[in-house]
Amino acid sequence: MSTKILNLQAKFGANLIIYNNQIFTTMARTKKATAAAAEKEIKVTTIRENLKKLCNDLADLARKAGREEFTLNQLLRESYNLQEQELDTFEGWKAKGANVRKGQHAYLFWGAPVESKTGHKYCPVAFKFSREQVHFATAQA
């Protein structure tokens, strides 16, 4: 798969990125910034789409098992086998005095609904780490 960047800055003040038959726009001012912005947007979109697919599969399984009362985040927590684990974001653990261990990967959850600049509400992806993925610099009582 290749990424095509069509530079329309001179005419429209924006760049159009076509990746995997999806169109993204960015207002970056340089080619380097444009490529970085395109890569970030593509990565976030891919993560979001994969999380949607996983949630659809989990919701189908929950319906078949008669467990429709669970939220998507509860189903995700169960699928990750993290029912009894304390979870928090990178920044949350940092505020508690813990560091995420090198090489650890976040678990994906849905965040609280937020309103976009265009006025529509959506749930962003929340990247969370378990207590087992962090260490405290000093002994915790």
pTM value surpassing 0.75: no
Has residue 124 been placed in a domain?
Answer: yes
* CA–CA dist 38, 52 (Å, integer): 21
Class of residue 105 by CB neighbours under 10 A (exposed 0-12, middle 13-18, buried 19+): exposed
The total number of structural domains that make up the chain: 1
Which DSSP letter does residue 137 get?
A: S
Could you report the per-residue pLDDT of 113-134, keeping only the tens digit for each?
Answer: 899 888 888 889 999 999 999 9
Has residue 110 been placed in a domain?
Answer: yes
Closest CA to 108 of 67, 52, 59, 57: 52
Has residue 141 been placed in a domain?
Answer: yes
Could you report the per-residue pLDDT of 9-55, keeping only the tens digit for each?
Answer: 444 444 445 555 455 554 545 556 667 777 888 888 888 899 999 99
Has residue 1 been placed in a domain?
Answer: no
Has residue 135 been placed in a domain?
Answer: yes
Has residue 92 been placed in a domain?
Answer: yes
Which position has the higher pLDDT, 81 or 36?
Answer: 81
Has residue 68 been placed in a domain?
Answer: no
Has residue 62 been placed in a domain?
Answer: no
| Residue numbers of the domain that contains 112 | 84-141
